Amino acid sequence: MIALNDFRRQWHDVRDAAFREFNRVGESGRYILGSSLEIFERALASLWRLRHCIGVASGLDAIEIALRALGCRTGDRVLTTPVSAFATTLAIVKLGAVPVFVDVDDSGLIDLDACEGVLSSRGDVKFFLPVHLFGHALNGKRLRHLRTRYGLILVEDCAQSIGADSEGEPAGTSGQCCATSFYPTKNLGAMGDGGAILTSDDALQIRIRALRDYGQTGKYRHEVIGYNSRLDELQAGLLAHVFLPRLEAWTARRRVIARMYVDSIHNPALRIPEPPLGSRSVWHLFPVVTPPARKMNFRAHLAEHDIASGEHYPIAIPDQSALSGVVIERASDLACARRFCSSEVTLPVHPYLTDTEVSRVIEVCNGWPG
């Protein structure tokens, strides 16, 4: 079976380094908020070319804490996308804020023209939470333009886009801060949950550091109602010394695989969505689009040939039943989002795929009758 993510191969590659790291953290006798986290935070901030990185317990927490630290409160309007992990919206809703869903483009990413349309016609949207989906980088200049033109507080969801850039600028550097995730399937995954917020704002990072640690500003000094949301030493140590050193090679491999797919999948019934102009993607996922009525048939065809596939995402977020009874707004009928969700299939693109497996995926895609 060709898997969507192959954690067994990854484990065999990293196990010696991981055991050493486990031992090192054990010997240190410090399991929360210690030197492994500091080392990892410095390394990730420098990779991102931002001043501060604050490790937290998950990507969801990273988004929620970032919004909270920037003043997002009950009733605040947050412009966001209907096509993402549910966590993007959950972070907004947990704060009592109101997601305002704007439609996506043909590639399933938030439509920045539609965003501009909403922002120019209503003045009550203060926050903007776009997602650099699939490993693509949204246009950074365009995001910065929207931020300054409409005086927005911009938090970028970079859970899928570590290392991506738009015309040389890292994804996540157009806003006040960005949030990312180390959920195991992400490009930089831990062996458990984890996340981080990145920013160059000195005052903001101090508020975030307090919020992640029960709102403490000094030992047993609680100035705000905070969270228990810390990236533990084991995860931070594994990330810093085992996974981060491999990220560049993993990303390069993802790019090679994506290029092979783009160059060689030629089935008129399959469309490969285009990354935004200027995006140097990190291919967290490799989406293809089928005719909506044929999606399940394509997935069955892949499965018959022992190829796993995914759906990102099968249901537009505002259509999820968890949101019935929750105050949300739709900026339009979100027709593109619904169409995208009913026709997208994700192919394996993880860095441990062999060339033979990639060729096999291509052959099976091209052999699908449509």
In whole angstroms, the minimum distance from the beta carbon of 229 to ligand PLP comes to 11
In the complex with ligand PLP, the residue whose CB is nearer, 130 or 351, is 130
Q: Identify the bridge partners of residue 347 per DSSP, sorted by sequence position.
A: 286
Give the Å distances, CA to CA, from 230 to 234, 236, 239. Answer: 11, 10, 14
Nearer to ligand PLP, 87 or 358 (CB): 87
Closer residue to ligand PLP, CB minimum distance, 111 or 157: 157
* Nearer Cβ to ligand PLP (190/364): 190
Residues within the interface to ligand PLP (CB under 6 A): 58-60, 84-85, 87-88, 131, 157, 159-160, 181, 183, 193, 195
Q: CA 110 to CA 104: how far, in whole Å?
A: 4
Residue type, position 201, single letter: D
| Smallest distance from ligand PLP to CB 160, Å | 5
Token pair for 361: 């995926």
Helix (H, G, I), strand (E, B) or coil at 307: strand
Smallest gap, in angstroms, from Cβ of residue 354 to ligand PLP?
26
How far from the centroid of its chain's Cα atoms is residue 134's Cα?
8
Q: Name the residue nearer to ligand PLP (CB basis): 231 or 270.
A: 231
Q: Closest approach of Cβ 177 to ligand PLP, in Å?
A: 14
Tell me how far, at minimum, the Cβ of 87 lies from ligand PLP, in Å: 4
> What is the rounded distance in angstroms from the CA atom of residue 286 to the CA atom of residue 282?
10
Residue 252: count of CB within 10 angstroms of its CB: 13
| Nearest position to ligand PLP, beta carbon | 59
Task: Identify the CA nearest to 196 among candidates 210, 178, 214, 175.
Answer: 178
Q: Which of 38, 33, 53, 57 is nearest to 227 (CA)?
A: 57
In the bound complex, what is the minimum distance in angstroms from residue 101's beta carbon to ligand PLP? 15
Q: How buried is residue 360: exposed, middle or buried, by Cβ count under 10 Å (0-12/13-18/19+)?
A: middle
Nearest to ligand PLP of 178, 204 (CB atom): 178
Of the pair 195, 237, the CB lying nearest ligand PLP is at: 195
Least Å from the CB of residue 180 to ligand PLP: 8
Contacts of 141 (CB under 8 A, 6+ apart): 166, 167, 169, 174
If you compute the radius of gyration of the chain from its CA atoms, what whole number of angstroms results?
Answer: 20
